[in-house]
Structure 1
């Protein structure tokens, strides 16, 4: 990361791979930011917080200010469905990137000059250029998967095609706090499963099959739900019986 030359610290960032051209701009921004924060010899690290007169760092205060700031892309209404969700870390990362419109979809890769437009079509339908909203909500394959999940519970609802509004509407279908946890889990599981299926199709030449996808999705939700019930310390029939859920048809 760096080394001392006398009493001055010199940053020396090293990367495990060559950076893409579109990453150079981000690197320059990082270098500028860290140059403004020079370590000092024989000085203990600490945190200085100017917004409140307290001796210790007010975590709750900074969390609220960060989420409510005008430039925030992760408002308080969205944060719980990601960070307080009982889903694996890889799924949390995926839905966080999706909310940020940062999944490496076809349109993103074309914009960065990594692939050509002819290689950027949606792997599910092959009818439109792949984008965050298309691959997760708009595509007939993805939308049909969401509607199939609603049918499991005898529900139907008009849902928005934009991530934040869709997620809020989805959680609104839950009945009660514990059911809300389960609906948040299903949301995360579906988002991650669609992205995982997309990668299998693009990189392992899997053939899209909605029926097979929905069947595997049911099993995955059931398995994740059992893990969630363990975290809650629930009885086997609490929230939803995950074993019955897996076997339901």
Structure 2
């Protein structure tokens, strides 16, 4: 930068106005071939118009967070399970925890062992074996009873499915924007979130919750989320779902 300014016979802190006089370029004689080439192109630069900032990576030239994100992010193919996490009526904090769980990035006991952790890594609920993602959701006898209780109100999910089977089935059968599809995803994300939260409360605060307390939270969150919507058609299946969940049929139209 200093080399170029010296070649232009200008100070290092010079402004553009120092080489303009009444909208006419008035450069001092160039001292390098590079500067000669630059000055040859200057007549093509329009003068006499108001300057304005242009965000070149944006489609419209003005700053947009979405355009900036698209420019800087590492683009990869869509994963098949994205609609299990991000969907209409999804609860953001639950989607985030489920997103970590699907990728097996929660700090479960088995992962802590890999990192060299020397403390207790057994399941805080049943105390049987090392805690893992698949154990916590829903091989553990404690979390399994909560999950089965949820499925009594959500008969669209196979109660015998393990974690991977739940994901596989969900990617095929839960992706529609029907009441049943939204309900399955809400139940799944709320169950994962509240069981993980209860696990942390036991592990870090020593405050265990009962199965009934966790189940009540899950059912309340799902019911409350659906009650605030009116996007579903009034079909026999949807009326039956409303009866299962004690929902006012005003959510149907």
Normalising by the residue count of structure 2, what TM-score does the alignment of the two structures yield? 0.59
Give SS of 2:242's match.
coil
State how far apart, in whole Å, the 1-side matches of 2:219 and 2:191 are: 10
Whether contact under 8 Å (1:124, 1:198) holds in the other structure is yes
- Tell me which residue corresponds to 2:212: 211
- Tell me which residue corresponds to 1:17: none
Q: Aligned pair 1:96/2:99, yes or no?
A: yes
- Tell me which residue corresponds to 2:114: 111
State how far apart, in whole Å, the 2-side matches of 1:152 and 1:185 are: 12
- Tell me which residue corresponds to 2:77: 66
- Tell me which residue corresponds to 1:244: 246
What CA RMSD, in Å, does the superposition of the two structures yield over aligned residues?
Answer: 4.1
The Cα offsets for residues 189-236 of structure 1, whole Å up to 9 and x where unpaired, read as 111111111111112212342123222322222122224x16x3889x
Give SS of 1:244's match.
coil
Q: Which structure has the higher relative contact order (CA within 8 Å, separation 6+)?
A: 1
Q: Rg: which structure is higher?
A: 2
- Tell me which residue corresponds to 2:167: 167
| 1:108/1:161 CA distance change after superposition, 3 Å | same
Instruction: Describe how 1:61-210 pairs up with structure 2 within 5 A.
Output: 66-67=77-78, 75-76=79-80, 78-113=81-116, 115-116=117-118, 118-153=119-154, 157-163=158-164, 165-169=165-169, 172=173, 177-210=178-211
State how far apart, in whole Å, the 2-side matches of 1:159 and 1:84 are: 25
State how far apart, in whole Å, the 2-side matches of 1:107 and 1:81 are: 25
1:108 Cα offset (Å): 1.3
State how far apart, in whole Å, the 2-side matches of 1:185 and 1:5 are: 61
Whether contact under 8 Å (1:136, 1:142) holds in the other structure is yes
Structure 2: runs of 5 or more not aligned: 5-52, 59-66, 249-253
Whether contact under 8 Å (1:189, 1:221) holds in the other structure is yes
| 1:156/1:109 CA distance change after superposition, 3 Å | closer
* 169-178 or 196-205, larger mean C-alpha shift: 169-178
Name the count of aligned residue pairs. Answer: 185
State how far apart, in whole Å, the 2-side matches of 1:145 and 1:168 are: 21
State how far apart, in whole Å, the 2-side matches of 1:64 and 1:203 are: 37
| 1:175/1:204 CA distance change after superposition, 3 Å | same
The Cα offsets for residues 140-160 of structure 1, whole Å up to 9 and x where unpaired, read as 111111111122356783533
State how far apart, in whole Å, the 2-side matches of 1:221 and 1:168 are: 22
Structure 1: runs of 5 or more not aligned: 8-41, 48-55, 68-74
State how far apart, in whole Å, the 2-side matches of 1:233 and 1:88 are: 18
